[in-house]
Copies of this chain bind each other. A is one copy, B any other.
């Protein structure tokens, strides 16, 4: 247990439950790893080592009192929290000059659920401004400091993939969770929209904002899903063959040769694992969804950013002023049409995806681009708008040795089935 920071969350949870590892030792190991790596990576917006160690000791006392029985699923596990979620004991700054040192009174809903499950909130991770645009996180890709970790959940993705912390919370409105997972090489899950409450996390587009998380294995993702209450329906009993659809999506031309190679390698892997593979072509009108996700972001962002705009517009990034001033000239009719069209596509995609345990799609156009590039959310927007659960599998590498993921997708609330499919693919 000398290198406890190398453990997955699930391994660490088992060791803690068995009395073989203390929360304090794990937290100290993570803090030591952070001390070494943070100067290069810059994943943390707020870190209070003494507070985290104190919390860990409390968890250890609870474990001893209960003789290591009846512990929550995350008991003693350190979790990083994207700095858009309110925390009652650490500032929540949103990477915005409007929230410098802002100290909330209560935890966001997702943070409260983590604590009830026994987690130790290790610290707050760097984010793009309000998790939605504007000022970039200062975080660098842990595999290459010249490259972007992707945004906006930059710090959470980097911290988990760099083994600073086994689990972290993020959010996705466009591609803010899965894109950084692909660029940094983390397992990540964006569940069905509103499977987890976004209360107490800054919202930018109410119809798209989704709470998600990072882990170091599929098992870790399932652990977090349970702790956050995200699984509405049980996974069906697995039958003999895993049914998987390969979907190159209408955005395939945006995938470079290495992203395409990652996709084909995933297909080969699933085939060898005994999966039954179909090719799936989406109806052509799904091509509109990426653009509509931008229309909805602009239309709903106008509502979300109005209060800060009216009280202190000079402190708000141009991106958000643009929404409030409606510089793209989106009419209410266009907003409503975008909402209604995407609602109809949701039902349609649920039907299309229903026969499959998972649909495989690209996670990103390729490896993480060089800074100041921030990458492209082209492969996430559709799925966020469709409210479809997504899991990034960080299985592949590009020509610079950087990660390239593939995404598994399913219809709404098939989250448990999707997790089961991911586990079978990797077993």
Contacts and interface: CB of A to CB of B under 8 A. Distances in A.
Contacts of A115: 311
A331 B304 CA distance: 31
Contacts of A113: 306-307, 310
Interface string A105-126: 1100100110110000000000
A100 interface: no
A116 B346 CA distance: 39
Contacts of A233: 331-332
A320 to B, nearest CB: 13
A412 interface: yes
Nearest to A111: B307
Interface stretch (A57-65, A195-203, A215-223, A242-250): A195-203
A315 to B, nearest CB: 14
A106 B106 CA distance: 11
Instruction: Give the interface centre of A194, A195, A350 by most chain B CB atoms within 10 Å.
Output: A194
A15 interface: no
Contact of A105 (B105, B302, B343, B412): B105
A69 interface: no
A311 B344 contact: no
A346 B340 contact: yes
B304 A116 contact: no
A412 B103 contact: no
A112 B311 contact: yes
Contact of A103 (B105, B196, B337): B105
A276 interface: no
Interface in A316-354: 331-333, 335-337, 339-340, 343-344, 346-347, 350
Given A310-B113, A311-B116, A303 B336 contact: no
A300 B194 contact: yes
Contacts of A303: 194-197, 229
Interface residues on A, range: 35 or more
Contacts of A306: 109, 113, 197, 229
Interface string A162-202: 00000000000000000000000000000010111101001
Contact of A332 (B196, B206, B335, B413): B413
Contacts of A412: 332, 336
Contacts of A203: 197, 199
A232 interface: yes
Contacts of A288: none
A133 interface: no
Interface in A273-318: 300, 302-304, 306-307, 310-311
Given A199-B203, A233-B332, A306-B197, A344 B344 contact: yes
A144 to B, nearest CB: 37
A291 B307 CA distance: 35
A386 to B, nearest CB: 11
A271 interface: no
Contact of A346 (B229, B331, B336): B336
17 contacts: A104-B106, A109-B304, A109-B306, A113-B306, A113-B307, A194-B300, A195-B303, A197-B203, A197-B307, A199-B304, A199-B307, A206-B206, A232-B302, A233-B331, A336-B347, A337-B347, A340-B344
Given A229-B306, A336-B412, A340-B344, 5 more contacts: A116-B307, A197-B303, A336-B346, A339-B346, A340-B347
* Shortest Cβ-Cβ A-B pairs, 4 listed: A343-B343, A332-B413, A112-B307, A340-B347
